[in-house]
A = this chain, B = another copy of it.
């Protein structure tokens, strides 16, 4: 018997495949600063566990396939603060943003269809798409331009009759880019002209720095029947292990069809939904505090990177990532070298090589994603180690 081509062709997680090197480094006594993963260190609001501890039903039964009505209401109230107004049947609860993405891709694209995605992109966009035979058609964005979008004409060149949707994260993972209002409006125009869905992954909505304005696709008039918002509690409330996401859209036919997939998997865990009802009620002050912290960290990383000669990095303004161009032959080889052959006083740094975030072969080979999810001191140490590592790396290119 043979395995399917779609599974064997599926890209291995570029983030996870270096884990064995990190484990070996730790086993040898090194301290590894993990800047490679998006696991925040911020405390999960206590209301999450409190509400779960109070659960006392004798039978842990199935909940509704669309999600608990209380959680949907809580999310609707949350959106209202951003002038986004949804009905109860316009929100579906999912197993994390991951399932939200997978179900939406299945619903808008058949096998052989294409989805436009600005690259570098969140690597699982490609993983999920290829698992269900949908092709990611990349729109290349450049480090030199802070990963902002190319102009409309270039985007149009990638559209063909099989193109069904534009999928993007904003604020961006892995780049930290926050698209301008003009960029969002340009994509909205494109979607209208070419009759596309917009799958807007806005799980980092609150992580915007420097007092910048943020434009959600949920705020653009005239396209709401073609907009699907992907959301999640994971980063927003530092509750990655809860796996509660959602699909929101005013396209009721789309929602009715996706509900069939939700019914197929019966329901999302009851307890995590109960906890998430409370998360979505968290006061806005929480975001202010968290943002202040991340902005400080962003500043340390941005300054640290720009203090290293040969590194290219435009200031990222959102999420908690940045993609930097490094003066190395191959970022993956460099990361492995840091884990295996380098340390400063027993410490080393792990980054995520960026090549896996691109669909175009060869791009991103000298780039890496840095997640600033450690405290200020650890980030300063990490930047120092990175600087010294780049000075010693035998395959430095400039």
Contact = CB atoms under 8 A, between A and B. Distances in A.
Interface of A: 1-8, 10-13, 16, 37, 39-44, 48-49, 52-53, 55-56, 58-63, 65, 95-96, 98-99, 102, 106-111, 113, 124, 127-128, 131-133, 164-165, 195-197, 226, 238-243, 253-254, 257-258, 260-261, 263-272
Given A111-B133, A263-B16, A61 B1 contact: no
Contacts of A270: 241-242
B107 A265 contact: no
B243 A269 contact: yes
B269 A242 contact: yes
8 contacts: A1-B196, A4-B109, A8-B257, A49-B60, A61-B240, A95-B95, A127-B260, A131-B261
A138 to B, nearest CB: 18
The complex is assembled from copies of this chain, and their number is: 2
Interface centre among A63, A241, A268 (most CB of B within 10 A): A241
Contacts of A13: 260, 263-264
A49 B59 CA distance: 11
Given A44-B60, A62-B39, A98-B266, A253 B131 contact: no
A257 B3 CA distance: 9
A58 B39 contact: no
Given A10-B257, A12-B260, 15 more contacts: A3-B107, A3-B254, A4-B106, A13-B260, A13-B263, A13-B264, A16-B263, A41-B59, A48-B60, A61-B241, A63-B241, A127-B260, A128-B264, A241-B269, A269-B271
B133 A16 contact: no
A180 to B, nearest CB: 25
A11 B260 CA distance: 8
Given A7-B106, A44-B58, A267 B254 contact: no
B265 A95 contact: yes
B106 A131 contact: yes
Contacts of A56: 49
A175 to B, nearest CB: 20
Contacts of A7: 106-107, 257-258, 260-261
A328 to B, nearest CB: 26
